[in-house]
Structure 1
């Protein structure tokens, strides 16, 4: 997964804690990667508006990112590297 777009953003969780997450949007992940991570045929879960299911790079798992409560700007990166260099900022 070296060429996928990664993002770093901080948001306020439901319990009012802040969470900074390095993540990849599912649409940016290769299908072969998703196939290895998705097990079974569970029904689609409805997420609240402004919430997005993403791949958390640091936790190595699916998480929900809350775009409604972001703090500052979400930074976009071109690859996962030790030293990340933002390519553009997203809101």
Structure 2
């Protein structure tokens, strides 16, 4: 495991983080050369911006019965009147 000093991390955090993300190396943060017990560890679960269509195939479709209940719940709390929030009743 590699080490990085707190001062270096403070001065150059982007470089250290990029190195961790690119190589997968773990860094232990030191203070005055002593381990602090804090590590920078890459997250193996990379965030995905797009979801593959095959993942969506596993999502069960909403049954018409549940859809009707959901719509009724939404319509029960909606009203068509617009009110001024600054106006006191």
State the TM-score, normalizing by the size of structure 2: 0.26
Which of the pair is proportionally richer in strand? 1
Whose Rg is larger? 2
Which of the pair is proportionally richer in helix? 2
Q: Which has the higher contact order (CA 8 A, sep 6+)?
A: 1
